[in-house]
Structure 1
Amino acid sequence: MPTAQPTLVFLHGFAESREVWTEFTRPFPAAYRLLAPNLLGHGTNLAPVPDFSMEAQARYVIDHLGRRNATEPVLLVGHSMGGYVALAVAQRYPERVAGLALINSTAYADTDEKRQNREKNIGFVERHGVDKFMDSFVRPLFAPANRDRLPEARALLEDIGKATPETTLVGGLRGMAARPDRTAVLRTARFPVLLVAGKHDVAVPLADSVAQAALAPVGTGLFLEGSGHLSYVEQPEATRRAVLALASAVFGQ
């Protein structure tokens, strides 16, 4: 049967899986229903994927909600690529969204330089394989002070990444490079929006997040001094408080 229980949907990033949310969501109140799907090609969701676009991932999220009988609007919490997917959901299915939290993510399209870097990463993966790529990919995502401070978290992300098929990495990189600018989703949002950003984020410049936090009619920004691109791991308490505050505003809990 459909459920009206307040539902939060956690969307992981590129080369991640639903496992990354386990520790972050453990303290969440039982009043909330928490869903964390593996996006297409990630984790255990390894059926053949013909389309790695953010739009295809958004359709998958909506299908996942249907299979879980989540018929009421949900709060989407997306990290990095998961935020791109959440924005695609909000653009195509705004009636399904009660709130939006973007963690180290952006509504801007890739710059030319960013697209070129993604192509370089594709070439590296195809030449050297997934393991070598992940050996160099994860560590710089942490703020410099956190790269050796959080070895277990770094090892988890590296292991998840190394278990991700090469086709998923290549398809995901191309899907992210092709995504359009979705700042209009923020400007026209009829739901509250939260942006969480790290000062040392090498993937999403802090200035971009500051600018976007002001776009939504009801927007909040959390700017973290001690985080890189992984705020939900690097400063989980502050990030969790911000997400719970958004959930409280959205659902009146």
Structure 2
Amino acid sequence: MPRRVRLVLVHGSQLSRAMWARYPALLGPDVDLVLPDLPAHGARRGEPFTWEAALATLDEAVGEGGDPVVLAGHSLGGYLVMAWAARNPRRLAGLGLLGASAVPAGPGAALYRTLARVEQRLGPDRMARALDRELDALLPAPFAALLKEAGYGFDGIPDAWAGVMGECRPEMLSDVSAPVLLVNGQLDQLRVDARRFRRAARSAPWVHVVTVPRGLHVFPLTHPAETVAALWELVAAARGQA
């Protein structure tokens, strides 16, 4: 029987653990899948988002057990898993950054600060209607309905992205001793610095960069099979280490 691997998947901003709803069937029974909600998102929408509370959520999700752990996250979740790995560089058997290969500084950071302010001025109702329309256009109706029912985490956006821009740089990967996977959509605006992230992970036994053809930034939602195929590299590597 294959050695079980603990795979922690961390959602991006605004969404929740529901974004991974189609992944258990694709990953199969030999993966212990852990899907936390971050503060201010999903079932924890009433909680304020703080950087330390988000990292504490990952502490709990990774746990203290003996199974090898692969930690992966999308967008905000990708930057958070990188920050967690920087604090625990030898704890993981694999690290995956999905849609999180852009340096959050300079003009790009200014753009996200502006977007966060605009979203806050629009208010949650108009923001929710806009996101509803986007999900309806991109996803099968039952899955889009599931995401809508889980709710959106708008309140945490300014603090979450302020944390990313203030805390996260590619150099945080320098001491990570696990294999590193960088996955981005072909049309993903957060893939622009993938080479810099790859170079920064100098202690990793290998770093693989995967581009999902025709994928947007939300490729884990629209291309789950391709995303799982990439994640299996980390799961297989974790089993090999075990």
Change over 3 Å in CA distance of 1:166–1:6 after alignment to 2: closer
Of the candidates 212, 219, 222, which is equivalent to residue 197 of structure 2?
212
Paired residue type of 1:6: V
Paired residue type of 2:187: H
1:169-222 deviation per Cα after TM superposition (whole angstroms, max 9, x unaligned): 3322332332231x22333321101111111113x03x4124423543411111
- Alpha-carbon contact 1:13-1:82 (below 8 Å) kept: yes
Paired residue type of 1:209: A
Note the C-alpha offset of 1:39. 0.8
Paired residue type of 1:191: A
RCO higher in structure (CA 8 A, sep ≥6): 2
Change over 3 Å in CA distance of 1:242–1:119 after alignment to 2: closer
Change over 3 Å in CA distance of 1:196–1:153 after alignment to 2: farther
Of the candidates 167, 171, 191, which is equivalent to residue 179 of structure 1?
167
What is the CA–CA distance in structure 2 between the aligned matches of 1:62 and 1:36, rounded to whole Å? Answer: 13
What is the CA–CA distance in structure 2 between the aligned matches of 1:6 and 1:158, rounded to whole Å? Answer: 26
SS in 1 for 2:208: strand
Q: Which residue of 1 aligns with 2:152?
A: 164
Q: Which residue of 1 aligns with 2:39?
A: 40
What is the CA–CA distance in structure 2 between the aligned matches of 1:6 and 1:194, rounded to whole Å? Answer: 16
Note the C-alpha offset of 1:25. 2.9
Q: Which residue of 2 aligns with 1:126?
A: 120
Note the C-alpha offset of 1:97. 1.4
What is the CA–CA distance in structure 1 between the aligned matches of 2:45 and 2:137, rounded to whole Å? Answer: 32
Paired residue type of 1:120: T
Q: Which runs of 4+ in 1 moved over 4 A?
A: 134-140
> How high is the sequence identity, in percent, across the aligned residues?
25
Q: Give the alignment's TM-score, normalised by structure 2.
A: 0.83
- Alpha-carbon contact 2:69-2:238 (below 8 Å) kept: no
Change over 3 Å in CA distance of 1:139–1:244 after alignment to 2: farther
Note the C-alpha offset of 1:99. 0.6
What is the CA–CA distance in structure 1 between the aligned matches of 2:177 and 2:129, rounded to whole Å? Answer: 41
Of the candidates 71, 77, 84, which is equivalent to residue 82 of structure 1?
77
Change over 3 Å in CA distance of 1:160–1:95 after alignment to 2: farther
Q: Which residue of 1 aligns with 2:234?
A: 246
Paired residue type of 2:114: K
Provide structure 2 residue ranges, at least 5 long, that are not aligned to the other structure: none
Write out aligned runs for 1:87-126 (5 A): 87-106=82-101, 108=103, 110-126=104-120
- Alpha-carbon contact 1:87-1:185 (below 8 Å) kept: yes
- Alpha-carbon contact 1:197-1:231 (below 8 Å) kept: yes
Q: Give the alignment's TM-score, normalised by structure 1.
A: 0.79
SS in 2 for 1:102: strand
How many residue pairs match? The answer is 236
Say if 2:216 is the partner of 1:222: no
What is the CA–CA distance in structure 1 between the aligned matches of 2:22 and 2:223, rounded to whole Å? Answer: 12
Change over 3 Å in CA distance of 1:138–1:101 after alignment to 2: farther
Change over 3 Å in CA distance of 1:208–1:33 after alignment to 2: same
